[in-house]
Amino acid sequence: MRKVTTPMPISGTKYVIPTSHTLMASPGCTSRDDEFFPEALEWDPHRWDLGSGRVVGNDQDEEFQDYGYGMISKGASSPYLPFGAGRHRCIGEQFATVQLVTIMATVVRLFKFKN
pLDDT tens, position by position, 4-56: 999 999 999 999 999 999 988 777 887 888 888 888 899 988 887 777 766 66
Annotated binding residue 29: no
- Residue 44 included in any domain: yes
Is residue 115 in a domain?
no
pLDDT at 106 over 90: yes
Alpha-carbon torsion (60, 61, 63, 64), positive or negative:
positive
Number of domains into which the chain is organized: 1
- The rounded distance, in Å, linking the Cα atoms of 86 and 54 is 24
- What is the extent of the structural domain holding 75? 2-110
Summarised one tens digit per residue, pLDDT across range 45-81 is 888 777 776 666 654 556 676 666 666 665 556 667 7
